[in-house]
Structure 1
Amino acid sequence: MKVPGISLLVFLACTASISALSTLPSGTLVVSKSPSPGQYESIMKAVKALSTTSTAKQTIYIKKGEYKEQVVIPLLRSPLSIYGETSTPLTYKGNTVNIKHSAGQSDGFNNDQTGTLRVLTPNFSLYNVNVYNQKGKGTQAVALSAQKENQGYYGVSIIGYQDTLLAQKGAQFYAKSYIEGAVDFMFGDARAVFYDCDIGVSAGGGYVLANGRNTSDLTSLFLVDKCRIHAAEKHSVEEKTVYLGRPWGTHSTALVQRTDLGKIINPKGWSEWSKTDQHTDNAILAELDNTGEGASGERASFAKKLRSYVPFETVLGPSYRDWVDSAYVAS
Structure 2
Amino acid sequence: MQTVLKKYQLELKHTFSISRESRDFQDTLIVCLSLNGKTGYGEATSNPYYNITVDSMINEIRAIENRIAGFDLISPEAFHGFLVREGLSNFSICALDLAANDLYGKLHGKPLYEIWGYSTAKYPITNYTIGIATIEKMVEKMEEKPWPLYKIKLGTNHDVAIVKALRKHTDATFRVDANCAWTPEETIENSYKLKELGVEFIEQPLKADNREGMKKVMAESALPVIADESCIVESDVEKCKDHFHGVNIKLTKCGGLTPARRMIEKAKSLDLKVMVGCMTESTVGISAIAQLLPQLDYVDMDGAMLLKSDIATGVIIRDNGKVIFPKEPGSGVVLTA
Same-fold call, TM cutoff 0.5:
no
Q: Answer 1 or 2: higher relative contact order, Cα 8 Å, separation at least 6.
A: 2
- Please state which structure has a larger fraction of its residues in strand: 1
Shorter-chain TM range is under 0.3
TM-score, normalised to structure 1, is 0.27
Tell me which protein shows more helix as a share of its residues.
2
